[in-house]
Amino acid sequence: MFTGLKKTLSKIVARVAHRGLSSYELEEISEEILLMLVENDVAYEVAEKISELIKERLSNEKIGLFENPKERVLNILSQILIEILTPKKEVDLEKLIKEKASRSPPFVILFVGPNGQGKTTTIVKIARYLKSRGYSVVIAAADTFRAGAIEQLEALVKRVGAKVIKQKYGADPAAVAYDAVMHARSKKVSVVLIDTAGRLQTDKDLMEEMAKIKRVVSPDLVIFVADALMGNDAVNQALEFDRYVGIDAVILTKADTDAKGGAALSITYVTGKPLIFLGTGQNLDDLVRFNAQAFVKTLLEAD
């Protein structure tokens, strides 16, 4: 996972792990760092910020005679990456669900994103994750557009034992979502997860339909599901969905097959939205909570 990014960061550490670098050398190295990061699908503005911070902090750093230069650089880089991965506002999913449960359940989550990103599988993974922690869950089959979408969702949901609220194909997705919320309210279900049809961010009519679902059900959280393999495109898609619909958090799928890691490193900084889970495989248990400190430690540890 993220082997390309790990190798790049290792090269950066090796390149700058010296006791003293001139301002000219630091300027030259910062350009190299920028290019190396961009080659690994790191968004340009993120790569530029990282290279600038490395140059700035190394120019102000005085490494002691008995201090290990490599360890010092690793510490500096770790701090920088954690800053890049820290969102403006954290999202603690379970805390939010508990708070809503004490007031007026259900907690409603709307999932959005383009086609082929693994949204439906991710929703069922979240259902399993929540049920394993004692929450009751109902799922709205609000993708009434794609042939086979409802059957796919039902087949996956059988494996976690949650209820699916559905209507026929061609039905108003907002009506399906509303039905699911009303069902959950009457049955005192903790959480509603709303599956939606994949939208291309360039299709304004479909994006307006997504916005309509949001207006009708007033979700507590809107999660954008992104494909790690899309690299910088995933970041651009998230920005567009945020502009049209408004998103609160991101789940990155296919992280286990992403060698470069650019989307994982970029998406929080560019969008300002927290990355809360990584999808790490096809099994329904292949979902891990994202932790910036643990993620950075993995990226910087030696193989």
How much is the pLDDT for 301?
85
**pLDDT over 70 percentage in the chain:** 94
Mean pLDDT of 100-125: 93
pLDDT of 199 higher than 80: no
How much is the pLDDT for 265?
92
Mean pLDDT of 202-209: 75
How much is the pLDDT for 249?
97
pLDDT digits (tens, 9 = 90+) for 247-269: 999 999 999 988 788 899 999 99
Q: Categorize the per-residue pLDDT at 224 as very low, low, confident or very high, splitting at 50, 70 and 90.
A: very high
DSSP string, the chain: --HHHHHHHHHHHHHH-SS---HHHHHHHHHHHHHHHHHTT--HHHHHHHHHHHHHHHHT----TTS-HHHHHHHHHHHHHHHHH--SS---HHHHHHHHHTTSPPEEEEEE--TTS-HHHHHHHHHHHHHTTT--EEEEEE--SSTTHHHHHHHHHTTTT-EEE---TTS-HHHHHHHHHHHHHHHT-SEEEEEE----TT-HHHHHHHHHHHHHH--SEEEEEEEGGGTHHHHHHHHHHHHHT---EEEEE-GGG-SS-HHHHHHHHHH-PPEEEEE-SSSTT-EEE--HHHHHHHHHS--
Mean pLDDT of 167-191: 95
**pLDDT over 90 percentage in the chain:** 65
pLDDT of 12 higher than 60: yes
Look over the chain and give the mean of its residue pLDDT values, rounded to a whole number. Answer: 90
pLDDT of 238 higher than 90: yes
pLDDT of 134 higher than 60: yes
pLDDT digits (tens, 9 = 90+) for 66-108: 567 788 889 999 999 999 999 989 999 999 999 998 889 999 9
Cα 140 off chain centre by: 22
How much is the pLDDT for 64?
54
pLDDT of 155 higher than 80: yes
Mean pLDDT of 160-188: 95
How much is the pLDDT for 187?
95
Domains identified in the chain and CATH numbers = 3-85 (1.20.120), 93-300 (3.40.50.300)
How much is the pLDDT for 68?
74
pTM of the model: 0.93
